[in-house]
Amino acid sequence: MRDGAIFAKAGLPAVAIVTEAFVELAAFTAQAVGMPAVPRYVLPHPCSGTGDENLARVAREAAPGIIALLEGRVEGRKP
């Protein structure tokens, strides 16, 4: 989240990618760094360690939403 906020502050398109378990922490951190609206995309939890096949599927499904956020076609947090 902090990296996303740094990019956003620099005027660069940024999306913070967090898993479901970290949604509240992400909001908390975004608030803490003074960028409560940093776009974020939420992935299932856990992602790590779920195998290459599942990770590829998660990435395929997430990519369009993340790109939409980066292009500003979707506002705010994508659930």
Partner 1 sequence: MNLSATRHQAPDEATALELFHLREWTDGLPVVIPTEERVEAMLAGVELDPDIILGEIGPGQATVEKVAINAVMAGCRPEHLPVVLAAVRAVTDPEFDIDNMQSTTHGMGPVIIVNGPARDVCGPIASGWGALGPGHRANASIGRALRLCLMNIGGARPGHGDMAALGQPGKFTCCLAEDEEGSPFPPQHTSFGYDADQSAVTLVGVDAPHSVMMQTNDDDPEAHERILRVVAGAIAIPGANNTQIGNGPVIVVLNPVHAGVLASAGLTREDVIERLVKLAVTPNSTMRGWATKRAFRDEDAYLPALRGPEDLVLIVAGGGGMYSAVFSGGLAGSTHPVHAPIHFDFSCELPGFPPA
Residue 22 token pair: 């970290």
CB closer to partner 1 out of 3 and 75: 3
Of 21, 39, 19, 43, the C-alpha closest to 30 is 39
Distance in Å, CB of 75 to partner 1, minimum:
24
CB closer to partner 1 out of 12 and 25: 25
Alpha-carbon distance 73 to 33, whole Å?
Answer: 24
Q: Which residues are bridge partners to 2 per DSSP?
A: none
The interface mask with partner 1, positions 12-41, x = CB under 8 A, is ---------xx-xx--xx-xx---------
Which residues of this protein are in contact with partner 1, per CB under 8 A? 2, 21-22, 24-25, 28-29, 31-32
